[in-house]
Structure 1
Amino acid sequence: MKKQQNVAFLTLVNFFIPLSLSATLVTVSHVIINSTLARSSNPAVVIASYSVAMSLFGIFERCAVILRQTCATLVRDKHSFKLVSRLTMFVLAAILIISLIIGYSPIGDMFFLKVLGVKEHMLEPTLSAYRVLMFVTIFSGIRCLYQGVIITNLKTKWLTIGMIFRLVFMGGLAWVLLHFGLVEHGYIGSIIFLVGMVVEAIVSFIEGRSIVKKIPDKKPDHHVVHSSQVRKFYSPLLMASLIAVMISPAINGVLGWSKDAEIAIASYAVAFSILNLLLSFASYLHQIVINFYEQDAKLVLRFTMIFSLIPTLLLIAIAFTPIGAWGLQHIMGVSGELLDQSLRALKFFIVFTLFFPWLDYVNGVLMLKGQTKVMTFSQAGNVITTITFLIVLILLIPNGSGYIGALAQSLGVMVEASIAFIMLRRYMHKPLLKIRKLS
């Protein structure tokens, strides 16, 4: 592997910070929606219908989001962009067809009633919310396709700019809807989300298209020349993402067996929401690897060592100092037993924050080497470990609370990172992006 020691540390910082900021701002967009729906006359029904619809949306959203990694890793010329674009159109068309079947046929009724456990009186509001959310996935896929091009060309500030536009339009629409008293249905949250995603997709499309026009038609040294290479890169990522979907319902289901199920599930949810906020800062480390590892692997490693510590240090401050209790109580409105158990769960998530950034780093190298199939096995290891420890812990500690879920999930990520690292060692001597061998 050829290394050119010409990448400045500041270059990595300037590339990474806008990505991290955009990931953090995503959480703000969901706060806008939930706080808007909470002001309806019947917030329990409105929020519940939107949340259940979002749980199904999240599955299809994963299929769209990994198009960003696919594009960022594989696209280096117009030809490879055309190949990834074809895959994008196929994936989004398949998602839309399945979504239409779920949204407008008895199959959807059965799925929401039997699989997701929606009550009869909640079925129609939930379906109404989902019928809007299905279009959010389409625009999310378009956004991710062009964001991959933007990231590869180091113009990551446009991800932050797109998120800012998204938040402004979402906030403005939410204010208008509240002003005219129109927030009475869960699909209103879906509409706000859709408008924000359309705006972000437009920003990404405009900037991404301008970049695509400037890249060469065909780079002679770029190995991605067939559609099969793109599919073989994307498919394991898709499988890994779909496997990961099993973790959240498994945790909530097992925590429901505890003697104080409401506190257990709620404390885990509160702690996990804070974890997501902190880890959003490190969720783009794989892009640092994809874009700079070939130029200076040692600098990328050093960068990861520094920035991987930030989520852990912040979580320690929240979990072990009065800052956390104050924030949960005064910002999130958590108090009493729920406050105590949420802080306890946060302590067990420290293991998660230690391993997650390094998992993202290793996954970035695996993507460069075209070994995305490894991520399917490592993710499966995560799911098996998490579910196994969940069951063991709930049997040993039936009075346990949300920290059981936090500990089991942390051990799962530790195992996933270990499997990914061990498998990576097998491929360390193989050339980067030797995707031609996959075809």
Structure 2
Amino acid sequence: MNNEGVKPARLVNRGICVDKKAKSELAAILRFYLPLATTSILMMVTHSLVSGAMARTLSPAITLAAYSAAYAVGQVLESPCYALQKMVLTFTRGKRSYRTAAIVAAEFLAVVASIYILLAWSPLSTVVFRDLLGLSEAVLGRATVDLKVLLLWPIASALRSIFQSKVVIGKRTYWLTINMVLRVALMFMIAAVLPRVMPEGPVGSVILMAGLCLEALLAFVVSQRFTPPLEEDDADLPEVRPSQVVAFMLPLVLAASVQTVAKPVVTAALSRTANPETTLAGYQVASSFSYIFAAATYNIYHVMVVFVKDRPSFRRVRNFVLAIGVIASSLLLIAALPGPGAIIFGKVIGAPQDITQEAVRTLIVLAVTPLLLACAEFFDGILMLHKHSGLVTAAKMCNVGVTCVTAMVVARLWPQTGGIAGALAIGGGVLVEVLFSYRYTRILPDTAEYLKRDLAHAGVHETL
């Protein structure tokens, strides 16, 4: 009888221990992730800050048009740099592997910078701006100057990615928030002065590059002075080779470049709706607002690299990611209701009534995107953890393809849908990416292990 009474007591004690461990790890995830989410949300603020400064120049329409064109071209070459941080995080196991990944990233940056210089300082820029984008002569010269200033964009972005990776691995993510706050403060100060100092100059690109370069410099200082040094690589594990890093990185670079195609295609599709001016304005306002909530999902891979070690930790991170997505989507849905939406878009942002109405009905459909993006980042992250970057690229390309086709078809067949056509396209593309990545997570042997029940702990119900 006594022995029979001991077993349930042991199970209860084990359950309590597991529960405490789960809560402790959840607290650690929150301490790690909240600074990253705050950093991403603050980054969204800087884009509105730049636009506001350009609106105070002598010729705001020309300034904004030139910056928009240069930004679109520069983003094509800068977007691959986003893959560098994921690459460094994936391969870093110690000092030697970090050095190998950083060298590959630096070599890739040299190639990107060379292409950028060739484009910005040759007649190719005129061909792109005048022949492809159709800029007028009044905007062409200003766009070329903006493009030259934005050369610092891929350079600072790549260096920031390399140095921030070390900070993330050291779990000092609060420094990233501090750095972003300092970046925003600098950009605020420059934005207050620059439109008066150079009223017809590249105001937007100078403000953006000043903030980004400061953030990259601060990331370097923090990685060297305020982050624990990396340990030596495990001698029992095979050495990370540059060829492995390149093979992993190139598909992600391709995916990042391909994703830049979707936005102009959606814009072109919406320009063919029943009321294109109101549709485009309403969609732009709604999508820009939704980015604030979607930003909470941008750093999910960082959490996975640091915290996913086995099936129990996989489940904890999965539930955490789902909670982030549900909360962000719920808040966005509340904002999309007629009452709050009218206040946000009509009173706070100051949009006219017709644009406010279009933005509200577009935002209702966009409300699901944070949850979908959280799921996509999670399952893409599992694939990347096991070096299946080619499959992640395929998922991203499916996303872009579905987004483009959906936008064009819906806008053509149902032009009265307006901005909803763009919202459906964005949501449909991300949904396909989620389904693609989830399917391969289930069928690949090394990733399917995470989805199996942990039979070794049968009888112990873990609180997640």
Alpha-carbon displacement from aligned partner over 1:86-136 (angstroms, at most 9, x marks no partner): 222122111211111111111111011122222222111001011001112
In the other structure, the counterpart of 1:189 is: 204
State the TM-score, normalized to the length of structure 1: 0.93
Trace 1:376-391 onto structure 2 (pairs within 5 A).
Answer: 376-391=393-408
Q: What's the offset of the Cα at 1:376?
A: 1.2
Q: What residue number does 1:330 align with?
A: 347
Q: Distance in 2 between matches of 1:21 and 1:229?
A: 33
**Is the 1:102–1:109 contact (alpha carbons within 8 Å) kept by the matching residues of 2?**
no
- Residue in structure 2 matched with residue 373 of structure 1 by the alignment: 390
Q: Is the 8 A contact 2:273 2:415 kept in 1?
A: yes
Please say if 1:73 is aligned against 2:78. no
Contact 2:262-2:404 at 8 Å conserved across structures:
yes
- What does residue 225 of structure 1 align with? 240
Q: Letter of the aligned partner of 2:132 in structure 1?
A: V
**Distance change in 2, residues 1:240/1:223 (3 Å):** farther
Displacement of 1:212 in angstroms is 7.8
For 1:121, the equivalent position in structure 2 comes to: 138
Does the alignment pair 1:273 with 2:281? no
- Deviations along 1:337-391, whole A, 9 cap, x unmatched? 1111111111111232331111111111111111111111111111221122222
- Aligned residue for 1:27? 44
Does residue 241 of structure 1 match 2:256? Answer: yes
Q: 1:158 aligns with which of 157, 168, 175?
A: 175
**Mapped pair 1:215 → 2:222:** no
C-alpha separation in 2, matches of 1:113 and 1:212? 47
CA 1:222/1:326 → structure 2, altered by over 3 Å: closer, same or farther? Answer: farther
Q: Which is worse superposed, 420-429 or 234-243? A: 420-429
Aligned to 1:201: 216
Write out per-residue CA displacement over residues 239-281 of structure 1, whole angstroms, 9 at most, x where no aligned residue. 1111111110110111111232111211111111011111101
Residue 435 (structure 1) aligns with: none
- Does residue 414 of structure 2 align to residue 397 of structure 1? yes
Once the two structures are TM-superposed, the CA of residue 211 in structure 1 deviates from its matched residue by: 6.9
Q: Secondary structure of the residue that 2:51 maps to in structure 1?
A: helix
Verify: 1:88 aligned to 2:105, yes or no: yes
- Residue equivalent to 1:300: 317
Q: Is the 8 A contact 1:159 1:204 kept in 2?
A: yes
Structure 1 counterpart of 2:5 = none
- What's the counterpart of residue 58 of structure 2? 41
The higher radius of gyration belongs to 2
Give the C-alpha shift of residue 398 in structure 1. Answer: 2.3
Query: What's the counterpart of residue 165 of structure 2?
Result: 148
Equivalent position SS for 1:185: coil
Distance 1:221 1:71 in 2: 20
Cα pair 1:224 1:230 within 8 Å, conserved: no
Aligned AA for 1:142? L
Q: Tell me the distance in 2 between the aligned counterparts of 1:66 and 1:218.
A: 23
What is the identity, as a one-letter code, of the residue corresponding to 2:216?
A
TM-score (norm 2): 0.88
The residue identity in structure 2 corresponding to 1:241 is A
CA contact (8 A) 1:70 1:148 kept: no
CA RMSD of aligned residues (A): 1.9
Match of 2:77 among 38, 60, 72: 60
Does the 8 A contact of 2:369 with 2:427 survive in 1?
yes
Contact in 1 for aligned 2:170/2:227 (Cα 8 Å): no
Q: Structure 1 pair 213/22, CA: closer, same or farther in 2 (3 Å)? A: closer
Secondary structure, aligned partner of 1:370: coil
For residues 158 and 200 of structure 2, what CA distance do their matches in structure 1 show?
26
Which structure 1 residue ranges, 5 or more long, are not aligned? 433-439
SS of the counterpart of 2:111?
A: helix
Q: Does structure 2 retain, via aligned residues, the 8 Å contact 1:351–1:411?
A: no
Q: Kindly provide the CA deviation profile for residues 289-311 of structure 1, in whole angstroms up to 9, marking residues without a partner as x.
A: 12101151121122112212121
Mapped partners of 2:292, 2:229: distance in 1: 36
Contact 2:322 2:371 in 1 (8 A): no
Aligned residues between the structures: 427
1:13 & 1:221 partners in 2: Cα distance?
32
| 8 A Cα contact 2:50 2:207, kept in partner | yes
Matched residue type, 2:180:
M
Say which of 261, 272, 280 aligns to 2:276.
Answer: 261
Given the superposition, is the C-alpha separation of residues 222 and 109 from structure 1 closer, same or farther in structure 2, using an over 3 Å criterion? farther
1-side partners of 2:357 and 2:343: how far apart?
12
Give, in whole Å, the separation in 1 of the partners of 2:60 and 2:409: 36
CA distance in 2, matches of 1:147, 1:185: 35
428 and 320 in structure 1: CA distance in 2 versus 1, 3 angstrom threshold: farther
Provide the C-alpha distance between the structure 1 equivalents of 2:111 and 2:132, rounded to a whole number of angstroms. Answer: 21
- 2:374 matches 1:357: yes
Query: How far is the alpha carbon of 1:76 from its aligned partner?
Result: 1.9
Separation in 1 of the partners of 2:43 and 2:91?
25
Contact 1:147–1:204, Cα closer than 8 Å, also in 2:
yes
Tell me which residue corresponds to 1:315.
332
| Unaligned ranges ≥5, structure 2 | 1-17, 450-464
| Shift of residue 332, structure 1, vs aligned partner | 1.3
- Classify 1:171/1:223 alpha carbon distance in 2 versus 1 (closer, same or farther; 3 Å): farther
